[in-house]
Amino acid sequence: MKRRPRRSVPAAAVALVLTAAGALTAVVAGQLLLGERPWLDYGAAARRLHDLRWGDLLVVGTGAALAALGLVLVLAALLPGRPTVLPLHGEPDSGVSRRSFGAALRTAAARVDGVEKVHLKLRRRSVRVRVRTRRTRPDGIADSVRAAVAARLDRIDPVRRPDVKVRLRTSRSTS
């Protein structure tokens, strides 16, 4: 099971722009039908657009901006996002959310003796763990953290097992 995120932000942006354009068109059409002065003067807009040339900076810039926006929206629709549910071995449709997966690994690293603070980053193929300790001789802490995270990975048993990379920092107080 690989559940991917929905592309709700690009979809909402496109829907908002199209709704605003449709509402503006409806309001202007209603104003014209009622004989009132419309918000947008169609004649002035048509004259302004008729006076433009294909090589004008405004036309080229607007075209380039719209093409770039379209490319971003197409890429957002086609490229896969980061999975929100990671598949596990065992049951056919078993999975774990990225948040709970990271929390379990973070907890395993934090339980190692001498660890003061843990910062964990999940990547596609690796888990990066930054550990801080106050010990003046932090020998073996990085290996213990790596072993604890690896043991937790064995218990969780993800389909794609990430590599564990541990970075240790010491924060010695001067008082």
- Among 111, 83, 121, smallest CA distance to 6 is for 83
- Bridge partners of residue 97, in order along the sequence: 85
Compute φ and ψ for 56, nearest 5 degrees.
-65, 145
pTM of the model: 0.62
The tokens for 115 are 């660890």
Q: Give the total number of structural domains in the chain.
A: 2
In a domain, 2, yes or no: no
CATH of the domain at 127: 3.30.70.1350
63-74 pLDDT, tens digit each: 999 999 999 988
Band (2; pLDDT cuts 50, 70, 90) = low
Same domain, 157 and 91: yes
Same domain, 57 and 116: no
Last residue of a domain, one of 78, 108, 127: 78
Compute φ and ψ for 131, nearest 5 degrees.
-120, 140
Same domain, 89 and 147: yes
Same domain, 97 and 164: yes
- Among 170, 159, 7, 152, smallest CA distance to 79 is for 7
Same domain, 49 and 107: no
Last residue of a domain, one of 78, 98, 127: 78
Same domain, 98 and 59: no
Same domain, 105 and 136: yes
Band (175; pLDDT cuts 50, 70, 90) = very low
Q: Which domain holds residue 61?
A: 8-78
76-117 pLDDT, tens digit each: 888 877 778 888 887 777 888 889 999 999 999 999 998 999
In a domain, 166, yes or no: yes
Are 148 and 140 spatial neighbours (Cβ–Cβ below 8 Å)?
Answer: no
Same domain, 93 and 48: no
